[in-house]
Structure formats: structure tokens, C-alpha cells
Homo-oligomer: A and B are copies of this chain.
Amino acid sequence: MAREKNKHDLILSSASKVFAQKGFHDANIIEIAKDASIGKGTIYEYFDSKMTLYIEVIKFNMEKYLMRIRNQVMSKTTFDEKLEAYINCHTEIISEHYQYAGLVMNGSVEPMFNSKNTQETLLILLETRDKVVQIILDILVIGSIEGKFKNSHLEYYADLFFEMLNRSALRALMLHHTQDKQTLEKTLLIQMLINGIGH
């Protein structure tokens, strides 16, 4: 788990792993410390509290998630390529860290409902969500320019696409779909999004 990072990121990485496996409450500081092969106290040298650490973990993962999506999508040029890049990238991320990627969609965080800390975390999630939706909107605009579909309510559709693509990926993971089934679903999904189920 270690490699050559600084302690701060090492802790973040272990915390990310443990929080993902156990959730905020069932994760405990000792386990995170053990995973990072450091002492309990060291965590408190870098983070004020368990809650703070949790928030930082979320920020950390959202950052990584956004970066990866952006890089993949930007490396393509056409609507079809970009959309596929997005879907593939997202599916990958979800299968690696599905807890955190899922957070963007669920828009909910486990600990301390309605507390200030939760509000801060929610804000991060919503901001990340907005940024991803913007990426999809950019893709849709390209599709529109390519004449794939007409250009109305694209903001709304970007939102919906986001939900559906994510849901589809997450569900595939949870229901342990085969590779074939996933590919079929992906095709059907895109076809339906563009043409509706009427065609």
C-alpha cells in the first residue's frame, strides 16, 4: 500500500480503502493506521479528526475521479468516441472504487445527517456532479453539431444522461453482469437515449 508517497497521501489512501469497505462509522482509526502501517497518533498529525479525514477522502477521490474522466474524454474528438470514452472510463472507476464513484450519484453521505460537516461534504459532491454533467453536456453539444439530434433541452438531457450512464454502470457491477451483457446494455442504452424505445 505504501510506495513512495508522503504520509498525508498515504493516510488518505488507506482511509479511502477502509472507509469504502466499512463506511464511516464502522471504520475505525486504528484499522486505517494499521493499513497504512503507521501509528494511530500519526493520523492526527495530518488530520484534525476522523470526520475531517473522511471529508478529505471524499475530496481526494472526487478530484481523482474528475481528472480521469476529463483526460479520457478530451483525448477523443467525435461524439461517439467521447461518449464511449466517458462510459468506459466511468465503468472502470466504478468497478475500482464503486463506493466513492457512487457517492456522486447518490448525493448522500453517511455520517451526521444535517450537520455542518455533512453540508460541506454534500457541497463537494454536488460540485463534482455539476462538473461531470458539464462534461457530458459538452459531449451532447458536439453530437448536436454533428447533427445526431436537435439542440433543445440539452442541459436537462445532460443531467439525465449522467444519471442513466452512471446507474447503468453501477447496476452492471452490482448485479455482476457478464461482459457481453454489459456491452449489449451499453449499446441499447445509447440507442434508447438517442432514439427512444419507440424505434
Contact = CB atoms under 8 A, between A and B. Distances in A.
Interface of A: 21-26, 102, 105-108, 110-114, 140, 148-150, 153, 156-157, 159-160, 163-164, 167-168, 170-171, 174, 185, 188-189, 192-199
Counting from the closest, the 4 A-B pairs by CB-CB distance are A196-B196, A195-B196, A149-B198, A25-B25
B110 A148 contact: no
A113 B23 contact: yes
A108 B106 CA distance: 10
A174 to B, nearest CB: 6
Copies in the complex: 4
Interface of A is mostly: helix
A197 B113 contact: no
Given A106-B106, A194-B198, 5 more contacts: A25-B25, A107-B171, A140-B197, A163-B167, A196-B196
A198 B150 contact: yes
A170 B163 CA distance: 11
Given A25-B111, A102-B108, A106-B106, A149 B192 contact: no
B157 A112 contact: no
